[in-house]
């Protein structure tokens, strides 16, 4: 490649994609449950190399239900679910 800047940019793009694929290949999820956890890879290599594959993966229905406003409302509705804010002072004794 004659252009050093283009060569550098290509190198950085390959590094970025390689790092993302390597990290995704290392991801696991629990398929055994809470009592008998068993972890398996979250993605197969053929999935990772598919041109239509996208990271991050879209959240599952269960993940969507655990996140967002619905989850916050559920926490707020629990008895004793009040939030307590405590003032923490810095080392000079002044409140933050």
Q: So what's the pLDDT on residue 22?
A: 93
Q: Give the domain ranges of the chain.
A: 4-77
> Measured at the alpha carbon of residue 11, what is the angle toward residues 7 and 13, in degrees to the nearest 5?
115
The number of beta carbons lying within 10 Å of the beta carbon of residue 43 is: 19
d(CA 88, CA 96): 6
Asked whether 24 and 46 are in contact (CB, 8 A), the reply is: no
Residue 95: strand pairing partners: 89
Strands (E), the chain: 28-30, 39-41
Q: What is the pLDDT along the chain (96 residues), one digit of tens a residue?
A: 679 999 999 999 999 999 999 999 999 989 888 889 999 999 999 999 998 888 877 788 887 777 777 777 777 766 555 666 677 777 765 554
Strand partners, 89: 95
């Amino acid at each position: 490649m004659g252009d050093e800047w283009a060569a550098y940019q290509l190198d950085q793009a390959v590094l970025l994609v390689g790092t993302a694929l390597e990290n995704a290949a290392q991801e696991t999820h629990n398929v055994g449950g809470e009592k008998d956890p068993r972890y398996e890879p979250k993605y197969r290599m053929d999935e990772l190399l598919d041109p239509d594959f996208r990271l991050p993966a879209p959240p599952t229905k269960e993940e969507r239900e655990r996140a967002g406003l619905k989850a916050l409302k559920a926490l707020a509705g629990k008895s004793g679910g009040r939030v307590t804010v405590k003032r923490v002072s810095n080392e000079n004794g002044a409140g933050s």
